[in-house]
Amino acid sequence: MLDISFYEHRELMKAIIGLGNPGDKYKFTRHNVGFLIIDEIARKKKVKLQKKKFLSYFGQIKVGGERVYLIKPLTYMNLSGEAVLRIKKYLRLKSEDLLVMLDDANLSTGIIRFREKGVAAGHNGLASIIEELHTTVFPRLRVGIGRPCLGESLEHYVLKLMRKKETASILSVVSQASDAALFWVNSGTSKAMNKFNIRQPENKN
């Protein structure tokens, strides 16, 4: 069973939260990049996620002496904030101890960027978290998925299965993002930004 009896100790803790939609039909859609990163961290650390409370799948690892919770909300994307708020309250975490990982259509495919704060910019999962936490100040790791073709809605694009030619790029950035998230645990957002952010203009099309 997953041990979350944190009240018995005072060790440092953080949570890495990947956004996505539960269910096999969504697994390899662009909107599920956050889930894929959590799965990759779990694979590298040889842990299993277990269905637990708080409308989420949980797993836990140790990174440099800190207990880190790997979290995949089961609320579906648009209600991600409900799960995040429950987790934050139960673990008694500060907002800066939550790393939210999400897809970003304003970044080219394969680009990752850390941010310390910011608005939702049209991402419903991020908007839900901001609404529930009542703040825009919490770390997030944005993963570029590119923009839809002319005439295709963003909603359809993010919920569509990735094309074969982009799958390799996405899986490569998922691996990189998993390493970046683990680096963030002990080094913080500012150092993670300096190490992993690539200076590339955001997509405007």
- Token readout for 31 is 């909107």
Does residue 63 lie within any of the structural domains? yes
In a domain, 202, yes or no: no
Distances (CA, A) of 63 to 25, 98, 142: 32, 15, 21
SS (H, E, C) the chain: CCCCCHHHCCCCEEEEEECCCCCHHHCCEHHHHHHHHHHHHHHHHCCCCEECCCCEEEEEEEECCEEEEEEEECCCHHHHHHHHHHHHHHHCCCHHHEEEEEEECCCCCCCEEEECCCCCCCCHHHHHHHHHHCCCCCCEEEEECCCCCCCCCHHHHHCCECCHHHHHHHHHHHHHHHHHHHHHHHHHHHHHHHHHCCCCCCCCC
2 assigned to some structural domain: no
Q: What domain count does the chain have?
A: 1
In a domain, 190, yes or no: yes
- Assess if residue 144 is contained within a domain: yes
Whether residue 156 lies in the annotated active site: no
Evaluate whether 143 touches 109 at the Cβ level (below 8 Å). no
* pTM of the model as a whole: 0.91
Identify whether 203 is part of a domain: no
Supply the pLDDT for residue 52.
77
Residue 109 within any structural domain of the chain: yes
C-beta separation of 71 from 38 below 8 A = yes
Q: Domain span at residue 138?
A: 11-196
> CATH number, domain at 43?
3.40.50.1470
Residue pLDDT tens, the chain, 205 long: 555 554 444 468 999 999 999 999 999 999 999 999 999 999 999 999 987 778 999 999 999 989 999 999 999 999 999 999 999 999 999 999 999 999 999 999 989 999 999 999 999 999 999 999 999 999 999 999 999 988 999 999 999 999 888 888 898 999 999 999 999 999 999 999 999 997 654 554 4
**Among 9, 31, 123, 134, which one carries the catalytic annotation?**
31
**What whole-number distance in Å separates Cα of residue 199 and Cα of residue 179?**
19
- Asked if residues 145 and 37 have their Cβ atoms less than 8 Å apart, the reply is no
Task: Give the model's pLDDT for residue 203.
Answer: 53
